[in-house]
Amino acid sequence: MAAALTLNQSTIGKKAIMAVTGIVLYGFVIVHMIGNLKIFEGPKGFNEYSHFLRVVGEPALPAGTILWVIRIVLLVSVVLHVRAAIQLTLLDNAGRPIAYKKVQRKQASFASLTLRWGGMAIFFFVIFHLLHFTVGSALPGYIEGEPYHNVVSAFSNQIWAAPVYLLAVAALGTHLYHGVWSAMQTLGLNTRRTEKLFRGLAVASGIGLFAGFATVPIVVLLGILQ
Amino acid sequence: MKITVNVWRQKGAQASGRLVKYQVDHVSPDMSFLEMLDILNQQLIAKNEEPVAFDHDCREGICGSCGVMINGLAHGGRLATTTCQLHMRSFKDGDVITVEPWRAKAFPVLKDLIVDRGAFDRIIQSGGYISAATGSAPEANSTPIPKENADLAFDAAQCIGCGACVAACPNASAMLFTAAKVSHLGLLPQGQPERKSRVFNMVATMDAAGFGGCTNIGECSAACPKEIGLHFIGRLNRDLLSATLSGGTTAD
């Protein structure tokens, strides 16, 4: 633990904190996406799954224990991830006080150059998303404990909702397209032998999570789910 | 060939600089980029103007002295090529070429295209060495080294410290340079005694010099005239994190 605290003192250590918390959040979005697809089981299955997440662990554990442990782990991860991102961005920007008059890139990808912008977009989207589906204050017509109704009514009644969600999950997909590989590289887990594996994992994660998350608003818009 | 160059002119470290446009006639496609700058300087000297200051030494692509941003690309962006080995046949008659010094907080401009790369020297001083017994040279084969490690160490050791990695990095990070220097000793048996302190101290010096951090974008490796791979940055990260987690927490 004492050793882990010294990580914060170097740029590589800060990036390691960013990578570990990023992997926690990456694991969360995978589970979240699979959970979303349970909407195809219909109102009963989806609502039961949602209820299960709130009561899992009971009665062995006090009410809401597992839910709150997960929420706290995620919140701490977000805080540490964003904190490291801000600190590193400031250091990186300070690294070149005088810009080039002319810049060309040979290797950088859209995903790697927009990582910070995508991260900011995801951050603000998550706040909106929590107000929308967890707190229920973002849009009218929210019914506590009726997630199937809430999802379908949001995307079919609000013309702007689906585009906002699609843009947000596109930002997430782009973030992971670079971020998953970058996390492995930062943690020193990537070698010449694993290079293709982790690049492939990152590309598959970015595209797969975008497709998985985009499915629900699209099928609601198409009227397949009502 | 006729070439127009927009060159960064700056009288000294404290002066403010600007791009100045010059026309260079009679450029042969066989000239190197530095020889084209020599022609420009001859013109300037003949007109009693101050010649453009730029670093150069061996002009064989092995010393690491030369290096400028050419149209926004370190060393001109040609694969595995230093500025001195870049030939004017890479350009067309009538081209306008922008020439700027490396830009990084840790590499302050001294004059025109010359920057102070002392930060690299400080990184080397803080750990780029091994402790070796003095006396007669030991028998070469008495220390067996796996072929793969020897090859990798040599790949890393090819770094000439030109600074193109820093110049090309969007964050002005020195991770590829530091990774190459940490790896080339860390891969060999002779480098093991100081392996932990080396990585701590070199990374601490790198951070203190004001370089930015690595975002794994890969511009450094793409710009490197010695084609040093990004996997060395993974190795540097692995060395630093394992040294940290194994308790070697102080930079001695």
Cβ(A174)–Cβ(A110) below 8 Å = yes
* pLDDT number for residue B248: 62
Question: Tokens 């690309």 label which residue?
Answer: B73
Integer Cα distance of A138 and B117 in angstroms: 54
Q: Which of B75, B56, B237 has the alpha carbon at shortest distance from B167?
A: B75
Integer Cα distance of B76 and B72 in angstroms: 8
* pLDDT number for residue B245: 86
Q: Which of B171, B210, B216 sits opposite A185 (nearest CB)?
A: B216
Nearest CA in chain B to A90: B212
Domains observed in chain A = 7-94+110-221 (1.20.1300.10)
Contacting residues of A for B96, CB less than 8 Å apart: none
Residues B202-224 have a mean pLDDT of: 97
Question: What percentage of chain B has pLDDT greater than the value 70?
Answer: 98
Residues B30-35 have a mean pLDDT of: 98
Cβ(B91)–Cβ(B60) below 8 Å = no
Surface-to-core class of residue B246, CB atoms within 10 Å of its CB (0-12 exposed, 13-18 middle, 19+ buried) = exposed
CA dihedral A202, A203, A205, A207 (to 10 degrees): 160
Q: Which of B163, B128, B160 has the alpha carbon at shortest distance from B64?
A: B160
Q: Which of B166, B150, B154, B244 has the alpha carbon at shortest distance from B199?
A: B244
Per-residue pLDDT of chain A (226 residues; tens, 9 = 90+): 566 677 888 999 999 999 999 999 999 999 999 999 999 999 999 999 999 999 999 999 999 999 999 999 999 999 999 999 999 999 999 999 999 999 999 999 999 999 999 999 999 999 999 999 999 988 888 999 999 999 999 999 989 999 999 999 999 999 999 999 999 999 999 999 999 999 999 999 999 999 999 999 999 999 998 8
* Count of CA atoms in the C-beta half-sphere (13 A) of B227: 7
Q: Which of B2, B212, B195 has the alpha carbon at shortest distance from B104?
A: B212
Residue B251 pLDDT exceeds 80: no
Q: Which of B212, B219, B241 sits opposite A106 (nearest CB)?
A: B219
* pLDDT number for residue B112: 98
* pLDDT number for residue B135: 86
Q: What is the three-state SS of chain B? A: CCEEEEEEECCCCCCCCEEEEEEECCCCCCCEHHHHHHHHHHHHHHCCCCCCCCCCCCCCCCCCCCCCEECCEEHHHCCCCCHHHCEHHHCCCCCEEEEECCCECCECEEECCEECCHHHHHHHHCCCCCCCCCCCCCCHHHCCCCHHHHHHHHHHHCCCCCCHHHHHCCCCECHHHHHHHHHHHHCCHHHCCCHHHHHHHHHHHHHHCCCECCCCCCHHHHHCCCCCCCHHHHHHHHHHHHHHHCCCCCCC
Contacting residues of B for A117, CB less than 8 Å apart: none
- Whether residue B103 and residue A99 make contact (CB cut-off 8 A), yes or no, is yes
The reported pTM is 0.95
Integer Cα distance of B29 and B93 in angstroms: 9
B-facing residues of A in 164-193 (CB < 8 A) are 178, 181-182, 185-192
B78 phi and psi angles, rounded to 5 deg: -80, 140
Residue B249 pLDDT exceeds 70: no
Integer Cα distance of B95 and B28 in angstroms: 13
Question: What percentage of chain B has pLDDT greater than the value 90?
Answer: 90
Domains observed in chain B = 3-111 (3.10.20.30), 117-245 (1.10.1060.10)
Cβ(A180)–Cβ(A202) below 8 Å = yes
Surface-to-core class of residue A164, CB atoms within 10 Å of its CB (0-12 exposed, 13-18 middle, 19+ buried) = middle
A8 CB contacts (<8 Å, ≥6 apart)? A14, A17
What confidence tens digit (pLDDT) does each residue in B115-167 have? 999 999 999 999 999 988 788 888 888 889 999 999 999 999 999 999 999 99
- Whether residue A95 and residue B104 make contact (CB cut-off 8 A), yes or no, is yes
B96 phi and psi angles, rounded to 5 deg: -110, 120
Nearest CA in chain A to B236: A188
Q: Which of B214, B236, B245 sits opposite A3 (nearest CB)?
A: B245
